[in-house]
Amino acid sequence: MTQKIREKLLKRPDILVIADIIPQNSRILDLGCGDGSLLELLRKEKNVYGSGIELSQAKILDCVSAGVPVVHGDLNKGLKELPDKSFDYVILSQTLQAVERPDQLLDDMMRVGKKAIVSIINIGYYSARFQIMFRGKMPVTETLPNHWYDTPNIHLGTVCDFRDLCREKNINIISEIPIGEIHEKLLASIWPNLFASTCVFVIE
Amino acid sequence: MDEKNYGPVYAQDFTFGLTEDDKLLLDCGRKLGPVNIRFETYGKLDDKKSNAILILHALSGNAHVAGYLDGDKAKIGWWDNMVGPGKAFDTDKYFIVCSNVIGGCSGSTGPRSFNPESQNPSKIYNMDFPVITIADMVRAQHRLMKHLGIEKWLSLAGGSMGGMQALEWAVSYPEAVNSVMPIATTSRLSPQSIAFNWVGREAIMRDPSWNNGNYDIAKVPESGLAIARMLGHITYLSDESMDKKFGRELQEIKSYSFDFKHNFKVESYLKHQGEKFVERFDANSYLYISRAMDYFDLSERFGGNLEVALSQVKSSFLVISFSSDWLFTPEESLKIVEALRVNSIDVTYCDIKSIYGHDAFLLEVDVLGRLISDFLKCRYEEIK
């Protein structure tokens, strides 16, 4: 039954990586949970207590249809109403770059969760670098399909940038899982900042 | 004819509290009995009695939630677009119950009911009727549940004061509730709403016809009740919806009449709503029910802590608010949601984008219907 959800998520390998990291029976909070696929998968496969936060009314309807508890809310307003360490894992997948203050949201995630899992879109990916370097234009890639003027991604960074931010905030990176495209997996694992289009970080 | 209409439906009555022991003990300390509950049912209870849903009405509602009462097509239910075959509350799948609250004036025992112990010649309660609370209404509904042989509701749903009852159910009878849908409601009535209720009641009680509640059926406090209703109606709409619906348009005249008769469309609308209400609602019931809302504070008996109040709850929740509702604001719904999340209770919350204000819970059928129907489907599949 969960096979269907996994198939739907093939386009989002970072989410599948996150799903495999989460232990059985944990309490998780998925920020910007979209149509609730990850939560649906984890509730079915790992019996987690999971809930999501989502801004879009249309996506909330999808979550309800999938039987996933979701709360209508704006991540830019922070998580202040949630108590400290009330979740085992707080998840944020490919969304950090789209919030107004990624640093403040990260603080909030570390407060609310015992651990957090963040997947970032890596603007240091070689194809993005080449587009800037040789075409002299802001990159448009599969993970970054928008133009510079209409993109919701207002705070793009690289794998190295994220590591720096964690160091500055005394956040410990427990593990780092670079995700490469099909023929670049080996390169991505060796040189994530150049060859990983996205990267999953488990932090505490 | 609407093919999806439930069709003819007939009111039913359940009476209890005929003996001293069986009377309903109220929050105020007094006992009420005999108590009649007027209710309607739709659909069939399944073999396991697992598909029963209780719909709870708002201040001026009644048990007639859907279909044609007594087969009369003019008597259509107040939430007919949500309850029926194939609708959000699908009467082909679920057994739907809706009852009139105690204190009401649409069949259940209320201030205008016959009082066997009354000293006054009319033998009607009027102001001898005890002041009731939302919890008292729920206690009476619990008796009805037992009478119907239902042990657990698949879900409880209600908007506005109906949502307060739904919340009260989840706290008072956690074992009897699988899921709850509080819509456009609050866990405690705000001072602003208490203030509106006060003015509404003042209008009724200062109407000379009110006569300390002992008015004759031929001479009811019409103007007081109409003013209360008009005031209420303003709070059910929003600035934007009023602008859209009426603007500054004039009604029946081409220019200002330079007197104080109704000139504007919005004025005639309110006048009409007031007049219509007087024909179907009772002034004393308005006093009692609005008072019950004033006293509603779910957290009160838990030291004012909503998180504690909701800590024993065993149901999953679908909390819904409407973006333009300034009577029961989205923020108030969010407080309920946060308190539930602290307790690790499954809760879904949606603030439906709408211009219709508080009334949206009767109007935003599409989004509300989808949320409710999907939520119910998942809950029903879980227990099947």
Predicted pLDDT of residue B2? 53
Whether the ω angle into residue A145 lies within 30 degrees of 0, i.e. cis, is: no
Q: Residue A82 has what pLDDT?
A: 87
Which of B371, B381, B382 is closest, CB to CB, to A64? Answer: B371
What are the pLDDT digits (tens) for A111-125? 999 999 999 999 999
Does B30 have pLDDT greater than 60?
A: yes
- CA B191, B194, B200, B206 dihedral sign is negative
Question: Which residues in chain A have Cβ-Cβ distances shorter than 8 Å to B367?
Answer: 57, 61
The burial class, CB within 10 Å (0-12 / 13-18 / 19+), for B181 is buried
pLDDT digits (tens, 9 = 90+) for B6-16: 999 999 999 99
Catalytic residue among B325, B333, B354, B359: B325
| Residue B285: active-site member | no
Please give the mean pLDDT across all residues of chain B. 96
Which residue ranges form the domains of chain B, and what is each CATH number? 8-188+298-383 (3.40.50.1820), 195-290 (1.10.1740.110)
At B132, is the secondary structure helix, strand, or coil? coil
What pLDDT sits at residue B194? 98
pLDDT at A80: 79
CATH of domain A2-203: 3.40.50.150
The total of other beta-carbon atoms located within 10 Å of residue A174's CB is 13
* Structural domain spans, chain A: 2-203
- Spot the catalytic one: B60, B99, B160, B193: B160
Calculate how close chain A gets to B182, using CA atoms only, in Å. 14
Residue A64 to residue B348, Cβ atoms within 8 A: yes
Give the residue carrying structure tokens 């602290």.
B342
- The closest of B63, B61, B67, B59 to B87, measured between CA atoms, is B67
Q: Inspect the interface and report whether the beta carbons of A81 and B338 lie closer than 8 Å.
A: yes
Best A64, A65, A80, A82 residue to mutate vs chain B (most B CBs within 10 Å): A64
User: DSSP H helical segments within B100-190, as ranges?
Assistant: 134-147, 161-172
CB-based contact A15:A9 (threshold 8 Å): yes
pLDDT value of residue A182: 80
> Distance between CA B167 and CA B165 in Å, rounded?
5
Structure tokens at B106: 């649409």
| Catalytic residue flag (residue B147) | no
For residue B341, which residues of chain A lie inside 8 Å, CB to CB? 51, 71, 82, 86
Strand ranges inside chain B, DSSP E: 8-9, 12-16, 24-25, 31-32, 35-42, 52-56, 68-69, 83-84, 89-90, 95-99, 155-159, 179-183, 316-322, 347-352
Q: Give tens-digit pLDDT for A77-119.
A: 988 778 899 999 999 999 999 999 999 999 999 999 999 999 9
If you measure CA to CA, which chain A residue comes closest to B344? A49
Q: Does B316 touch chain A (CB under 8 A)?
A: yes
> CA nearest A80 in B: which residue?
B338
- Mean pLDDT of all residues in B320-332: 98
B233 belongs to the catalytic site: no
Whether A60 and A72 have beta carbons less than 8 Å apart is answered as yes
Complex-level ipTM: 0.91
Q: How distant is the Cα of A24 from the closest Cα of chain B, in angstroms?
A: 16
At residue A33 the predicted structure's pLDDT band, cuts being 50, 70 and 90, is very high
Task: Provide the pLDDT confidence category of residue A142 given band limits of 50, 70 and 90.
Answer: confident
- What is the rounded CA–CA span in Å between residue A168 and residue A147? 31
**CB contacts < 8 Å between A and B, how many?**
56
Give the pLDDT confidence score for residue B1 in this predicted structure: 46
**Least CB–CB distance from B347: residue in A57, A69, A83:** A69
Chain B positions in Cβ-Cβ contact with residue A51 (cut-off 8 Å): 341, 346-347
Q: For residue B317, what is the nearest residue in chain A, using CA coordinates?
A: A69
pLDDT at A81: 77
Gap between the Cα atoms of A20 and A48, Å rounded? 13
Q: What is residue B190's DSSP assignment? A: -
Find all residues with CB under 8 Å of A192, minimum gap 6, and list them.
Answer: A122, A159, A176, A178, A199
Contacts of A64 in chain B (CB under 8 A): 318, 348, 350, 370-371, 374-375, 378
Which B residues 359-378 touch A at CB under 8 Å?
A: 367, 370-371, 374-375, 378
| pLDDT value of residue B121 | 80
Within 8 A of B349 by CB-CB distance, chain A residues are: 70-73
